[in-house]
Structure 1
Amino acid sequence: MKIVFDARFTRTDQHDGISRYGASLIEAVSRHAQVQMLISDERQLALLPDVPWVKINSPLSPAELFVARKVNQLDADAVICPMQTMGSWGRDYPLILTLHDLIYYQNPTPPGFLPLPVRLLWRLYHLAYWPQRVLLNRADVVATISHTTAALMARHRLTRRPVRLVSNAPQEGTVPRGAGSAPEKTLLYMGSFMPYKNVETIVRGMSGLPGYTLHLLSRISPERRAELAALTVDPSRLLFHNGVSDAEYDALLRRATALVTLSKAEGYGLPVIESMAAGTPVIASDIPIFREVSGGAALLVDPDSPDAFAAAVNTLSDPGCWQEASAAGLRRAGEYDWDASAKQLVEAAAEASRLFTAKRRRRARKDG
């Protein structure tokens, strides 16, 4: 089977969640099928596995409306996009589109890195569900990364197409921290600083955690940094890294008491499972997706309570509790695996191919 994978959402500097998801799947799927990537910038290759590729237009270009004309020439048995926005007009191939979450229906602020015209379209797109339905129903199969998102898709009747799970997973080759290693009094936050991420509650909770330092790892604007620093009486205990490499992230993770996230909405929350795979406990908001992903191995708290967050951190100050949480996370992380996700995707690609072929035959009989 030849699978063409849309890798144009790969970053050119450091992975974000979508970028890492796509790159990890491509590498894993390439062990089970012939894979060819679509890229839009050769700098993306630095973060992608060494498989054949074709350079085409950016997914944000007006040319995306006609991208299927180019993809038709690649003779794919299935085309997979890790987003739901790939142009499909005039396609002559089986197509899988991916919907990660429904966050932006409740939190309509678009990512700041998008161009202004795209941000305006983004807001309009998320005012109603029907544009999403139009996009998803143009696929043969729709993939998603969690049962939580699949349930939301069903509740809002977002697609008539089969919905298949293609799970996220920790990075391959992650080696857990030593069992006897004592954690530093540091906490890590890995994620954006958009309002729904609720970083404010974490920062306010630091007032009840004397001696602890909070490392905020992602890129942040000076304005947003000042807003968060103003929420604590001791801003020196907030360390803003403004972006870290994978190696720096791994090193910080292996020393920390816990990774923390009090987000009010997520499609998956990849840092949660990455932290568990490293043997670092997780403190997360008590919402459905974190219940699903952590499987009971994380300390879940009320996302609106700084005191509850601080109490969870203080629980981990007991060495026995910390070791127990670390071990539980390792067991849970062991249940996620990119190779298993690749097999899920290959099975979905085969299903998409069967459905596409059947649809083509029905159309031929009708026309004949």
Structure 2
Amino acid sequence: MKIVIDARFTRTDHHDGISRYGSSLIAATAKIADVTMLINDKRQLALLPDVPWVMVNSPLSPLELFVARKINPLGADVVVCPMQTMGSWGRQYSLILTLHDLIYYEHPAPPGFLPAPVRLLWRLYHKAFWPQRVLLNRAEVVATISRTTEALMAKYRLTRRPVRIVGNAPQPGQTPRNPADGADKSLLYMGSFMPYKNVETMIRGMAGLPDYTLHLLSRITSQRRAELEGLIPDGAKVEFHNGVTDDEYEELLLRATALISLSRAEGYGLPLVEAMALGTPVIASDIPIFREVGADAVSYVDPGSPADFAAAVAALDDEALWQQRSRRSVERAADFNWDESARQLLAAAEEAVALRKRNAPKRKITND
């Protein structure tokens, strides 16, 4: 089977969530299928696996409406896009579109890297569900990364197409820490600083954790940093890193007591899986998607309670409990791997091809 995977959402400097998902899925799927990827900037190749590629227009270009004209000659059985916005007019192949989550319906602030006109359209798009239905119903199969999102798609009747899980996963080849080595008195947060991420609660909770340092790892604007610095309790230790490399992130995870995520809503929670894969315990808000990802390996707290957060951290001062959480985290993370995601994608691709053949117009046979 010839599969074309859209890699045009790959970043050119460092991965974000969609970029890493697409790159990792391409690498794993190329082991079991004939894969070609689409790019729109050669700089993307630095963050992509070494597989055949074809240059086409940017997914944000008006030419996206006609991108199928460039893809049709590739002879793909199925084209897979890690987003739902790919142009499909005049396509001659089966199509799988991906909806990762519905987070932007609750919190419609668009990613800052998008051009201003696209950010405006983004907000308008997330005011109603019907545009999403129009996009998703163009595909033979719709992919998503979690049962939580699958259930929400059914609740809001977002598509008539079959929905299949193609899971997210941590990076392969990482070596978990030895629980017997213990941990530093450090807590890590990896994620944006949008209001729904609820970083305020963990900062306020540091009032009860004078022996710990909270490391905020992601890039942050000076304005948002000033807002959060104003919330730091007297005597609390909070460090802003304003971005770390993948190697620095892994090094910090291998020493930390726990990774923290107190989001009030979330699309998935990849940092949880990344931490668990290295044997770093996780403290997370008690929301459905985190329950799905973390199962019994995670300590769940009320996201509105700084005291609950501080108590969960303090509980990990018990060395036996910390080691138990560390070991269970590694076990849970092993349930997520890219080889399994590739098998899920291949099964969805075979289904998409079969559906397109089944639904193709029947040619009438006439006797002359």
Q: TM-score range by the shorter chain?
A: over 0.9
| Counterpart in the other structure of 1:177 | 177
For residue 168 of structure 1, what is the aligned residue in structure 2?
168
Which residue of structure 2 aligns with residue 145 of structure 1? Answer: 145
Q: Does 1:131 align with 2:109?
A: no
SS of alignment partner, residue 295 of structure 1: helix
Which residue number corresponds to residue 280 of structure 1?
280
Q: Please state how far the C-alpha of 1:234 moved relative to its aligned partner.
A: 4.5
Matched, 1:312 2:312: yes
Answer with 190-199 or 246-255: which moved more: 190-199
**2: distance between equivalents of 1:39 and 1:207?**
48
Paired letter, 1:305 = S
Q: Is the CA contact 1:229–1:235 (under 8 Å) kept in the aligned structure 2?
A: no
SS in structure 2 of the partner of residue 97 of structure 1: strand
Find the counterpart in structure 1 of residue 94 from structure 2: 94
1:253-293 per-position Cα deviation (integer Å, ceiling 9, x unaligned): 00000000011122211110110010000000000000011
Determine helix, strand or coil for the equivalent of 2:360: helix
1:220 positional shift = 0.9
Whether 1:201 aligns to 2:192 is: no
For residue 237 of structure 1, report the CA deviation from its aligned partner.
Answer: 2.1
Q: 1:365 to 1:138 in 2, by over 3 A?
A: farther
* Matched AA of 1:227: E
Moved more, 154-163 or 316-325: 316-325
CA shift in 2, pair 1:89/1:316, >3 Å: same
| Letter paired with 1:193 | F
What letter corresponds to residue 57 of structure 1 in structure 2? N
- TM-score (norm: length of structure 2): 0.97
Change (3 A) 1:130 1:330: same
| Matching residue of 2:323 | 323
Alignment of 1:182-261 (within 5 A): 182-234=182-234, 237-261=237-261
Check 1:365–1:146 CA distance in 2 against 1; reply closer, same or farther (3 A cut).
farther
Answer whether contact 1:96 1:139 (CA < 8 A) is retained. Answer: yes
The aligned runs of 1:24-103 (5 Å cut-off) are 24-103=24-103
Give per-residue Cα distances to partners, 1:305-344, cap 9 Å, x unaligned. 1110111011111111110111111111111111011000
Is the aligned partner of 1:300 residue 2:323?
Answer: no
| Aligned equivalent of 1:109 | 109
Between the aligned partners of 2:206 and 2:114, the Cα distance in structure 1 is 32
Paired amino acid for 2:338: W
Counterparts of 2:214 and 2:284, CA distance in 1: 15
After TM superposition, give the deviation of residue 217 of structure 1 in Å: 1.2
How many matched pairs?
367
Identity %: 68
Is the Cα–Cα contact under 8 Å of residues 210 and 236 in structure 2 kept in the other structure? no
Structure 1 residue 361 displacement after superposition: 3.8
TM-score (norm 1): 0.97
- Letter of the structure 1 residue corresponding to residue 175 of structure 2: V
Partners of 1:235 and 1:132 lie apart in 2 by 48
Distance 1:307 1:89 in 2: 54
Task: Tell me the distance in 2 between the aligned counterparts of 1:114 and 1:234.
Answer: 38
- The answer as to whether partners of 1:198 and 1:263 remain within 8 angstroms in 2 is yes
**Unpaired stretches in structure 1, ≥5 consecutive residues:** none
Relative to 1, partners in 2 of residues 1:177 and 1:128: Cα closer, same or farther, differing over 3 Å? Answer: same
Distance 1:280 1:242 in 2: 22
Checking the alignment, whether the CA contact within 8 Å between 1:38 and 1:56 is kept in structure 2 is: yes
Q: CA RMSD in A?
A: 1.6
Kindly state the Cα deviation for residue 179 of structure 1 after the two structures are TM-superposed: 2.6
Name 1:349's counterpart in structure 2: 349
Task: Determine helix, strand or coil for the equivalent of 2:239.
Answer: strand
Q: For each residue in 1:173-232, what CA deviation from the matched residue of structure 2 results, as whole angstroms up to 9, or x when unmatched?
A: 111012311200111111111111111111111111102111111111111111111111
Deviation at 1:74, TM superposition (A): 1.1
Q: CA deviation at 1:126?
A: 0.4
Question: Structure 1 CA distance, aligned partners of 2:303 and 2:217?
Answer: 20
Q: Provide structure 2 residue ranges, at least 5 long, that are not aligned to the other structure.
A: none
SS of residue paired to 2:215: strand
Work out the CA distance in 2 between the residues paired with 1:90 and 1:242. 45
- Contact 1:145 1:267 (C-alpha < 8 Å) held by counterparts: no
Q: What letter corresponds to residue 239 of structure 1 in structure 2? A: E
Residues of 1 paired with 2:215 and 2:71: CA distance? 43
Amino acid aligned to 1:273 = V
Provide the rounded CA distance (Å) in 2 between the counterparts of 1:365 and 1:297.
59
**How far 1:233 sits from its partner (Å)?**
2.6
Deviation, 1:236, is 7.3
Give me the whole-angstrom Cα distance separating, in 2, the residues matched to 1:328 and 1:261. Answer: 18
User: In the aligned structure 2, how far is the partner of 1:106 from the partner of 1:23?
Assistant: 27
CA contact (8 A) 2:206 2:236 kept: no
Q: Is the 8 A contact 1:78 1:95 kept in 2?
A: yes
Query: Aligned equivalents of 1:262 and 1:365: distance in 2?
Result: 60
Question: What letter is aligned with 1:159?
Answer: T
